[in-house]
Amino acid sequence: MNATASGQISGEITVEIAGEILKPGVYKLPAGSRIDDLLVTAGSFSVGADGVWTDKYLNRAAKLTDRQKVYIPSSNQQSSAPGAKNSRGDQTVSGNFTSDSNVLININTASAAELDSLPGIGPVYGQSIIEHRPYSNVDELLSKGALKPSVYQKVKDLVTVY
């Protein structure tokens, strides 16, 4: 296998899974693997996993990206927001939610109408977000040129990638 410029071996990604999972840890999987593949490798959910949250918010068919982190919340965890938390490029799927009003908008799957509901996003920026898909983290709204910095500041805490 060949090494890429980022040092990653082509055809392989490294991902982490934590939280309510039987075998949390860091795993090397084939490029193109999906969250469901990671769950199988990690032995699936533990008995404390929040089944309602995973059924509602965890897209098991979503493709994984190199250096991604997936977090499975427990049924007694409380959080005000779902989805990916962006910290130094890591992605974390986490949270337990009390109402749909706390749900972040997934910039990889949202419709133009859903994107239009965000502050500062109208038809033009909504279409720009859609055209620059997929995103591995929220910061790519800027680095891919989908949004201007002033608009990005308005929406960065309202969107997610998972």
Mean predicted confidence (pLDDT) in 115-119 = 88
DSSP 49: B
Residue 76 confidence class, pLDDT cut points 50, 70, 90: confident
- Give the other-Cβ count within 10 Å of 132's Cβ: 16
Q: Which domains does the chain have, with CATH numbers?
A: 12-102 (no CATH), 105-160 (1.10.150.320)
Residue count of the chain:
162
Q: What is the dihedral of CA 127, 132, 125, 64, to 10 degrees?
A: 100
Q: With a cut of 90, say whether residue 94 has pLDDT above it.
A: no
CB atoms within 10 A of CB 45: 17
Nearest residue to 81 (alpha-carbon basis) of 142, 157, 156, 161: 157
SS3 (DSSP) at 39: helix
